[in-house]
Amino acid sequence: MTSTTLPILLLLGGFVLQLLLARWLTPVGKGVLATAVVFASFLASLTLVPASMAGVAAEAPLLAGWDGPLSIGLRVDGLSVLFMVMGTGIGAAILLFSVRYMEHEEQGTTRFYAIMLVFIAGLLLLAGAADMLGAYVAWEVIGLCSYSLVGFWYKQKAATDGARKVLVITHLAGYGFLVGLVLVYARAGTLVWTDPAVAPAFTSGVAALFIVAAMAKSVMFPLHTWIPEAMNAPTPVSALLHSACYVKAGVYLIARMYVVGGGQWHEAMGTPLLAVGCVTILVGVIFAMAQTDLKRLLAFHTVSQLGYIVVGLALGTDLGLAAGLFYCLSHALFKGTLFMCAGAIQHATGTRDLRDLGGLASAMPGTAKVWIIAAASIAGVPLTNGFVAKWLLFSAALDKGLLVVVLVGWIGSILTAFSFLKATVNAFYGVPSTALLGKRIHEASPSMLAGMGSMAGLCLLFGVAPQLLMLPIVAPAVRSLGFDWAVEMSWLGILTDRGTIAVTVGGGVVLASAMLGLLVYRLAQAPAPGLVSVYSGGEPLPAGDRPGAVDFAEMAETAFHPVYSLDPDPGYLRIWRALTRVAGAAQTTAGAVLEDRPLLPIGLVAIAALAGVWLV
């Protein structure tokens, strides 16, 4: 057991412990155990950082040469470390949050924590796998874990339907990965990412197959439609799914492809991927604006944000990769936080419908603060890591002269800001809605607050001092992909080599003048508070009657109705229905045959497989 395998082994050990101790542990105990395990794994991952900073890839063969050149092993380079740290770090915070969140769950907590641990271990294995086969195995492990986690409340039809949709879309697209690696193996005889023999075999067709798989995992348009369906999962699952483990697998795959032959795939596939990313940014955010369910809103923002990350990666430059990877980390932080806030709100109020929320800031001040930090971050407000990420991304796009990307990103971020403005105002400010009247709303528990607060704090920390993250994590990852990126970056994410000091000064001045003004107001005679009521046309309005998120969304919907007609879901539904019909027909006609003679179909499949291998 080397330090390279330690993080994964810790998680698997935790998994075994969960199963063994299930009988004696309370739900809280299980949660604490899982949290401790993931945290330990996080610490173990951190020990890998110095090596990756030095540019050394730690190798750990697990099953060396079990079948000729095909070996399963770990090769932990900068990129792997980034994803491992992200997965375990965010995972630890989310599990800390789930301790209290899941404590009232009557059954299935063992299942929950055990699978969560495997889920995270799957990501670690994916990130650390030295070859494509290992990565594919991890890929499907993640998929299966997410299937069972999304369907955690398997007694609810919506949850199981969602889980099935997740599995079908991502698994079907995952065959792209499988077919691609089979092709590579057939041509090169090896599947090790870094093997020079792989490079010529890794044609752009293979890359396209990989990208399709990554698109489904990373919710790229038009394969994004599973994500809102996955919202029936427990909130920690959603948080983990969205922020760290699941959707980021696709990001990892795209980034990892740069290792092969110096990113030769990029030449052919870079532009399509960019286009997909740009469309995804807009589609995601436009759909997000129309949502009233807090979690669905966040889900569509994940779509949009993943678009940004993929755009960064698709740029194919050192700065672009750095931007994409930094964005990936930042997104993990703020999206995880936002989901946890949504979970806390649902935990406290029993609803996550924005129409039924309002005025929570007074009842849940801590959650409100955490939410605002994370929302500012996702909207790209200066002083947060979201700003740094966007700034880097725009700089990278500008370096390549891709102004359209900047424009799209710009519009996307404005829409994101509006969307979060709406969500924030609706959930935390204004008058509590009638649905909440009479309910005793409690603040999130300390451990929940600690889980999300720590991540929100990191959002701010890495917003002010991104170099803290850049130097040890992001830069080695970029370097491990074969790009030489010298981190020339100062506070607030200002690229020192590009001389944008104006941004710093401008931002500082705005802040300073605002502070000064506030001071003047405080010193000046205090205006009388609340002598008059808000003007409502001469007669009082019913309390709590205000245009909310839904009304904004509806107004926006009327205004940009043409854009909404892009929804691809009906198409899927049609395919789905056709498939069900075909399956039904097949069952009725061939059912008897298959049931009576099971050997026949198996034999047929075997023949087909043989024919396939022979043909290739």
Give the closest residue to 337 by CA, choosing from 296, 309, 364, 376: 376
* Rounded Cα–Cα distance for residues 95 and 89 (Å): 10
Q: Is 418 in the site for another protein (CB under 8 A)?
A: yes
Interface pattern 372-411 for another protein (x via CB under 8 A): ----------------------xx--x--x-xx-xx--xx
Nearer to another protein, 96 or 354 (CB): 354
Nearer to another protein, 20 or 505 (CB): 505
**Least Å from the CB of residue 351 to another protein:** 13
Give the closest residue to 301 by CA, choosing from 271, 341, 361: 341
Q: What is the token pair recorded at 324?
A: 């994409």
Q: Is 559 in the site for another protein (CB under 8 A)?
A: yes
**Least Å from the CB of residue 316 to another protein:** 20
Q: Is 599 in the site for another protein (CB under 8 A)?
A: no
Exactly one of 510, 578, 586, 610 binds another protein (CB under 8 A); that residue is: 510
CA distances from 242 to 26, 278, 302, 383, 454 (A): 28, 19, 7, 23, 18
Q: Tell me if residue 3 falls in helix, strand or coil.
A: coil
Q: How far is CA 139 from the centre of its chain?
A: 15
Q: ∠ at Cα 181 (179, 182), nearest 5°?
A: 65
253-285 burial code (b ≥16 CB/10 A, e <16): bbbbbbbbbebbbbeebbeebbbbbbbbbbbbb
**Least Å from the CB of residue 329 to another protein:** 23
Give the closest residue to 78 by CA, choosing from 41, 112, 117, 52: 52
Q: Is 585 in the site for another protein (CB under 8 A)?
A: no
Q: Tell me if residue 59 falls in helix, strand or coil.
A: strand
Interface pattern 560-579 for another protein (x via CB under 8 A): x-x-----------------
DSSP state of 531: S
Burial class of residue 320 (count of CB atoms within 10 Å of its CB; 0-12, 13-18, 19+): buried
Q: Is 521 in the site for another protein (CB under 8 A)?
A: yes
**Least Å from the CB of residue 187 to another protein:** 38
Exactly one of 21, 518, 573, 613 binds another protein (CB under 8 A); that residue is: 518
Nearer to another protein, 438 or 542 (CB): 542
Exactly one of 523, 531, 599, 615 binds another protein (CB under 8 A); that residue is: 531
Give the interface segment with another protein, choosing from 6-14, 63-71, 97-105, 557-565 (CB under 8 A).
Answer: 557-565
Q: Is 587 in the site for another protein (CB under 8 A)?
A: no
Type of residue numbered 438: G
Q: Is 415 in the site for another protein (CB under 8 A)?
A: yes
Q: Is 530 in the site for another protein (CB under 8 A)?
A: yes
Nearer to another protein, 110 or 500 (CB): 500
Nearer to another protein, 161 or 557 (CB): 557
Nearer to another protein, 541 or 590 (CB): 541
**Least Å from the CB of residue 421 to another protein:** 7
Exactly one of 19, 158, 172, 414 binds another protein (CB under 8 A); that residue is: 414
Give the chain's radius of gyration (CA, Å).
Answer: 25
**Least Å from the CB of residue 512 to another protein:** 8
Interface pattern 283-322 for another protein (x via CB under 8 A): ----------------------------------------
Provide the 10 A C-beta neighbour count for residue 56: 15
Q: Is 275 in the site for another protein (CB under 8 A)?
A: no
* Rounded Cα–Cα distance for residues 321 and 313 (Å): 5
Give the interface segment with another protein, choosing from 31-39, 53-61, 264-272, 510-518 (CB under 8 A).
Answer: 510-518
- Asked whether the beta carbons of 447 and 96 are under 8 A apart, the reply is yes
CB-hemisphere CA count at 13 Å for 435?
Answer: 12
**Least Å from the CB of residue 450 to another protein:** 27
* Rounded Cα–Cα distance for residues 406 and 411 (Å): 9
Exactly one of 437, 468, 509, 593 binds another protein (CB under 8 A); that residue is: 509
**Least Å from the CB of residue 323 to another protein:** 15
* Rounded Cα–Cα distance for residues 187 and 241 (Å): 34
CA distances from 576 to 170, 310, 568, 586 (A): 14, 28, 13, 15
Q: Is 556 in the site for another protein (CB under 8 A)?
A: yes
Nearer to another protein, 54 or 559 (CB): 559
Nearer to another protein, 199 or 406 (CB): 406
- Phi then psi for 353, rounded to 5 degrees? -85, 120
CA distances from 86 to 124, 127, 150, 193, 613 (A): 9, 11, 21, 21, 39
Interface pattern 320-359 for another protein (x via CB under 8 A): -----------------------------------x----
- Asked whether the beta carbons of 331 and 298 are under 8 A apart, the reply is no
Give the interface segment with another protein, choosing from 293-301, 365-373, 534-542, 599-607 (CB under 8 A).
Answer: 534-542
Give the interface segment with another protein, choosing from 38-46, 128-136, 294-302, 412-420 (CB under 8 A).
Answer: 412-420
Q: Is 546 in the site for another protein (CB under 8 A)?
A: yes
Q: Is 535 in the site for another protein (CB under 8 A)?
A: yes
- Asked whether the beta carbons of 386 and 313 are under 8 A apart, the reply is no
Exactly one of 439, 442, 498, 581 binds another protein (CB under 8 A); that residue is: 498
Q: Is 437 in the site for another protein (CB under 8 A)?
A: no
Is the peptide bond between 61 and the residue preceding it cis, with omega within 30 degrees of 0? Answer: no
- Asked whether the beta carbons of 112 and 168 are under 8 A apart, the reply is no
Query: Would you tell me the crossing angle of helices 446-464 and 318-349 to the nearest 10 degrees?
Result: 160
Q: Is 186 in the site for another protein (CB under 8 A)?
A: no
Number of residues written out for the chain: 616
- Asked whether the beta carbons of 256 and 79 are under 8 A apart, the reply is yes
Exactly one of 486, 532, 599, 615 binds another protein (CB under 8 A); that residue is: 532
Q: What is the token pair recorded at 311?
A: 């755009």
Interface residue list for another protein (CB under 8 A): 355, 394-395, 398, 401, 403-404, 406-407, 410-411, 414-415, 417-418, 421, 425, 429-431, 498-503, 505-507, 509-510, 513-514, 517-518, 521, 527-539, 541-542, 545-548, 550-560, 562
